[in-house]
Amino acid sequence: MNGGENKKVLLLISSLNAATHRDIAKAANEFGWFLDLSFIEGGQLPPRWSGDGILCSLTAHPGMEKFVRKTALPVVDISIWKSNLNLPRVVADNEKIGRTAAEHLLEQEHRHFAWFSRTDDPVASVRFGGFQKRVASEVIKLSGDWNAVANQLKQLSRPCGIFAKTDVDAAWIMSLCLKEGYRVPEDFAIVGVDNNPLICDFLQVPLTSVNHDLEQLGYQAACLLNRLMQGEKPPNEITLIPPHGVTPRASTDSFAVQDDAVRAAMIFMKERLGRSIGTQEIAKAVGLSRRALELRFKEAVGVTVHEQLMELRLNRAEHLLRTSTDSAETIAALTGFCHAQHLSRLFKKRFGEPPLRYRKTLRA
């Protein structure tokens, strides 16, 4: 790439995720930019600044909006806090982040849901909206200090899936749950956002998190700014960066059903998705007759044992399509389908497209 040689770009960002910063720097290196980091280092707006473009994240920082309003330079915003300003934007698809978290909890058979965020801001609002729309049922908002949220948890039906705005918020609510004597994930399954390994991997119960694509956000914002500095007209639409699924960890690693035998059967199925297993083998593993298991399954989950097994296999296949380069034949073998054509037929019925086209659409 070229066209950005010797351009001077101001990073007007008060807090910057390391992944986002890394890919902004990667783009700057490709374009030959000089990045002015003075605002990040000192937190003070430059009294006089001359350059070629500004990459910003307009939040509640005093003076930042005024600074951007006054400039005639190309500007790209990577936040939605100041959506009243008509600026080119590259931002997270926060609505889809909420939907992705909801889909993960729904796959675990959750029927009761809560939301937690320590801030009430535009990002929180859109993530909550996507989550609530996808679960299509009541979502209890948890708010307040430690004691207030502890009292609210007592009122929730359990098991309950909790979606937190960020990994930091998820860590806070997890600490409270464990301190109050609740089990994670048996009582409260918790999902965060950002998949920050410094948080997710080192909590008392490792945290499941939505893969917010912070790298692409930074890189695509820099690419857009580069085009604008070359004279290209700003796009009419906001560029949305979708999440890349969920990284599951122990904080959601349990099926949310009350019937112990049904839950044990679902765990048995999940652990053996690559094998050819049937209802009779599953029933024997949990100490029930086939008919008894079918009746209890229908009552607890609303589907047959076979239908649930197919759902688990298809969800695993979808995950592999998102996160691996395996062929359809390999994925079919890993998920217990007899051949790729069988997987393709059922996958298209469930997700609307055959497997490889679905993967291509995700990566377009």
In the predicted structure, residue 16 carries a pLDDT above the cut 80: no
Confidence of residue 1 (pLDDT cuts 50, 70, 90): very low
What would the mean pLDDT of 72-96 be, rounded to a whole number? 91
Residue 1 lies in a domain: no
Confidence of residue 127 (pLDDT cuts 50, 70, 90): very high
CB 53 within 8 A of CB 229: yes
My answer on whether 119 and 165 are in the same domain is yes
My answer on whether 78 and 49 are in the same domain is yes
Q: Which of 224, 252, 280 is the last residue of a domain?
A: 252
In the predicted structure, residue 273 carries a pLDDT above the cut 50: yes
CB 9 within 8 A of CB 46: no
CB 180 within 8 A of CB 153: yes
Q: Which of 226, 252, 278 is the last residue of a domain?
A: 252
My answer on whether 98 and 185 are in the same domain is yes
Tens-place pLDDT, residues 141-159: 999 999 999 999 999 999 8
| Low-confidence winner among 47-51, 243-247, 359-363 (lowest mean pLDDT) | 359-363
Confidence of residue 364 (pLDDT cuts 50, 70, 90): low
Confidence of residue 4 (pLDDT cuts 50, 70, 90): low
Residue 2 lies in a domain: no
My answer on whether 321 and 272 are in the same domain is yes
My answer on whether 267 and 312 are in the same domain is yes
Provide the b/e sequence for 341-354 (b: ≥16 CB within 10 Å): eebbebbeeebeeb
The partner residues of 138 in beta bridges, in order of sequence, read none
pLDDT of residue 257: 74
Tens-place pLDDT, residues 180-222: 999 999 899 999 999 999 999 999 999 999 998 888 899 999 9
Residue 111 lies in a domain: yes
My answer on whether 205 and 224 are in the same domain is no
Residue 168 lies in a domain: yes
In the predicted structure, residue 139 carries a pLDDT above the cut 50: yes
- Collect all residues with Cβ–Cβ distance below 8 Å to 142 and sequence separation of at least 6: 114, 115, 116, 149, 152, 153, 162, 173
My answer on whether 113 and 184 are in the same domain is yes
Three-state DSSP class for residue 274: coil
Higher pLDDT: 303 or 169? It is 169
Count of residues for the chain? 364
* CATH number of the domain bearing residue 33: 3.40.50.2300
In the predicted structure, residue 20 carries a pLDDT above the cut 90: no
- Collect all residues with Cβ–Cβ distance below 8 Å to 158 and sequence separation of at least 6: 112, 182, 187, 188
Q: Which of 227, 252, 277 is the last residue of a domain?
A: 252
My answer on whether 44 and 137 are in the same domain is no
* CATH number of the domain bearing residue 340: 1.10.10.60
pLDDT of residue 238: 93
Residue 339 lies in a domain: yes
The most distant pair of C-alpha atoms in the chain lies apart, rounded to whole Å, by 79
Residue 56 lies in a domain: yes
CB 24 within 8 A of CB 226: no
What would the mean pLDDT of 299-313 be, rounded to a whole number? 88
Confidence of residue 9 (pLDDT cuts 50, 70, 90): very high
Tens-place pLDDT, residues 319-358: 788 778 899 999 999 999 989 999 999 999 988 889 988 8
Task: Identify the sign of the CA torsion 243, 247, 251, 256.
Answer: positive
Q: Which stretch, 56-60, 83-87, 158-162, 252-256, has highest mean pLDDT?
A: 158-162
To the nearest whole number, what is the mean pLDDT of the chain?
Answer: 89
DSSP 202: T
My answer on whether 231 and 314 are in the same domain is no
Can you give the residue range of the structural domain that contains 344? 260-362
What would the mean pLDDT of 60-89 be, rounded to a whole number? 87
Tens-place pLDDT, residues 215-255: 889 999 999 999 999 999 999 899 999 998 899 898 997 77
The partner residues of 154 in beta bridges, in order of sequence, read none
Provide, rounded to the nearest whole percent, the portion of the chain with pLDDT above 90: 58
My answer on whether 118 and 207 are in the same domain is yes
The tally of domains found in the chain comes to 3
My answer on whether 198 and 100 are in the same domain is yes
Residue 104 lies in a domain: yes
In the predicted structure, residue 88 carries a pLDDT above the cut 60: yes
What would the mean pLDDT of 253-261 be, rounded to a whole number? 78
Token code pair at residue 201: 């991997």
Strands 208-210 and 246-247: antiparallel
Residue 77 lies in a domain: yes
My answer on whether 199 and 218 are in the same domain is no
pTM: 0.76
